[in-house]
Amino acid sequence: MLAWNHVFASRASRMRASEIRELLKLLDQPDIISFAGGIPDPKLFPAEAFKQAYAETLNGGEAMAALQYSVSEGYAPLRQWLQQEMGRIGIECEPDNIFITSGSQQALDYLGKLFLSPDDTALVTWPTYLGALQAFNAYEPHYDQLGFANRTPESYRSLAQSRGGDVKFAYLSSDFANPTGQTVSLEERERVLSLARELDIPVIEDAAYQHLRFEGAPLSSILALDIARSGTIEETRTIYCGSFSKTLAPGLRVGYVVAAKPVIQKLVLMKQAADLHSSTINQMAIAHVAERHFQAQIEKIRTTYMARRDAMLDALSRHMPVGARWTKPEGGMFIWVTLPDGVDGADLLQNAISMEKVAFVPGQAFFADKSGTNTLRLSYSCANETAIEEGIARLGRLVKRHTQNAA
């Protein structure tokens, strides 16, 4: 038998199984209340609208185009719809500033591929989106912590150089981040932009959850702030990654990148070489549904998720012991819990599944340095209020026991 490990590239050693994906399998056990998956509630999908979209797309002159190869940059009417949508949030751009991806996960992979040589450094928050670490890992970077204060540009640069590369970008999720649910303040956004300018690097803004704001005034995206500073998108350094996965449906795999043209042009060439283009028919179906139903759809999911967030925050306040803390997100799908001192999230999960039949994601995986052992991520997107109350009661009991044992 071929010694496969001898012939794999060195990057393959960093491709390892995802804790989250393994945990998703728990969703299939009916007696477990799961707050683990970071996925939308499928009952909220606009299934009727998609049914109509596919039927119309395959119903006449468009059918041949829908089933054929298409251009790597994406379906023109979808890019035009996105241009208008971007304009409404202060991002003035042209269709040529927009690139369609197979979900925003692909955008992260491509941006890793575009910027990272082995031993370069990516700046990420502690914690950050696990999928971003997985995408970037294939390109063998180091990580450094993107805080919003205290570190000088020179300290980032000298650490990166001591590791044999350069700082190549700062990556962050601006609104209702996975895993924390937190939103980056306007002041912090400006500070990231200033840091990026001093380091002369791009900012990758992950906006996957941006449309899921329940309350409070929307904050300008980092790209919008960058355009306000720079005068035009062509002078910006921010690469905005959006997705239809949390608003319309993830199963079609349609996301998008908005950035200055030199970046978009490289991404288009990269896609041509890597998978030619995202599914033609799915881009047409997304355009069809977005044009007709986008606003109504996001209002529907906001209402549902907000009620679940409220139920979870309420249950946490009643069931969690003293010493536990958690975030109060203004949108999105996640609450981030910091456990009392000495309680380990991974240990807790073992007992949570076997004894209390409740699931979540231990926080450690979201830290590039594998710290954060006393944290966990809860998702309220797929559980109704009754299940949330019961599941948090179970979790609270368990955290109390672990807290007493740790004391």
Shortest CB 45 distance to a second copy, Å: 4
- By CB under 8 A, tell whether 76 contacts a second copy: no
CB 229 within 8 A of CB 184: no
Q: Which is nearer to a second copy, 269 or 355 (CB)?
A: 269
CB 220 within 8 A of CB 92: no
Shortest CB 193 distance to a second copy, Å: 12
Using the rule CB under 8 A, which residue among 33, 36, 66, 392 binds a second copy?
66
Closest CA to 76 of 62, 90, 88: 62
- By CB under 8 A, tell whether 228 contacts a second copy: no
Shortest CB 5 distance to a second copy, Å: 8
Closest CA to 183 of 219, 148, 149: 219
Where does this chain touch a second copy (CB under 8 A) — which range of 171-179, 258-266, 311-319, 372-380? 258-266
Per CB under 8 A, which of residues 14..43 are in contact with a second copy? 15-18, 21, 39-40, 42-43
- By CB under 8 A, tell whether 119 contacts a second copy: no
- CA angle 273–267–167, rounded 5-degree value: 120
Q: Can you tell me the distance from the alpha carbon of 36 to that of 203, in angstroms, rounded to the nearest whole number?
A: 29
Closest CA to 142 of 163, 115, 169, 126: 163
Q: Can you tell me the distance from the alpha carbon of 73 to that of 196, in angstroms, rounded to the nearest whole number?
A: 27
CB 171 within 8 A of CB 132: yes
Query: In the numeric block, which tokens belong to residue 377?
Result: 């991520």
Q: Can you tell me the distance from the alpha carbon of 373 to that of 353, in angstroms, rounded to the nearest whole number?
A: 18
Per CB under 8 A, which of residues 147..176 are in contact with a second copy? 166, 168-169
Q: Which is nearer to a second copy, 69 or 84 (CB)?
A: 69
Shortest CB 361 distance to a second copy, Å: 15
Where does this chain touch a second copy (CB under 8 A) — which range of 196-204, 207-215, 307-315, 330-338? 196-204
- By CB under 8 A, tell whether 253 contacts a second copy: yes
Shortest CB 380 distance to a second copy, Å: 17
- By CB under 8 A, tell whether 316 contacts a second copy: no
Q: Which is nearer to a second copy, 120 or 188 (CB)?
A: 120
Closest CA to 20 of 174, 179, 145, 205: 179
Q: Which is nearer to a second copy, 3 or 149 (CB)?
A: 3
Buried b (16+ CB within 10 A) or exposed e, 362-377: bbbbbbbeeebbbbbb
- By CB under 8 A, tell whether 6 contacts a second copy: yes
Using the rule CB under 8 A, which residue among 19, 26, 90, 113 binds a second copy?
113
Q: Can you tell me the distance from the alpha carbon of 42 to that of 46, in angstroms, rounded to the nearest whole number?
A: 9
Other CB atoms within 10 Å distance of the CB of residue 2: 6
Where does this chain touch a second copy (CB under 8 A) — which range of 44-52, 216-224, 303-311, 384-392? 44-52
Q: What are the DSSP calls for 146-190, one per residue?
A: --SSS--HHHHHHHHHHTTS-EEEEEEE-SS-TTT-----HHHHH
- By CB under 8 A, tell whether 266 contacts a second copy: yes
Query: In the numeric block, which tokens belong to residue 187?
Result: 């002041």
Using the rule CB under 8 A, which residue among 33, 35, 109, 123 binds a second copy?
109
Using the rule CB under 8 A, which residue among 137, 183, 297, 379 binds a second copy?
137
Q: Which is nearer to a second copy, 43 or 88 (CB)?
A: 43
Using the rule CB under 8 A, which residue among 280, 327, 375, 379 binds a second copy?
280
CB 316 within 8 A of CB 325: no
- By CB under 8 A, tell whether 9 contacts a second copy: yes
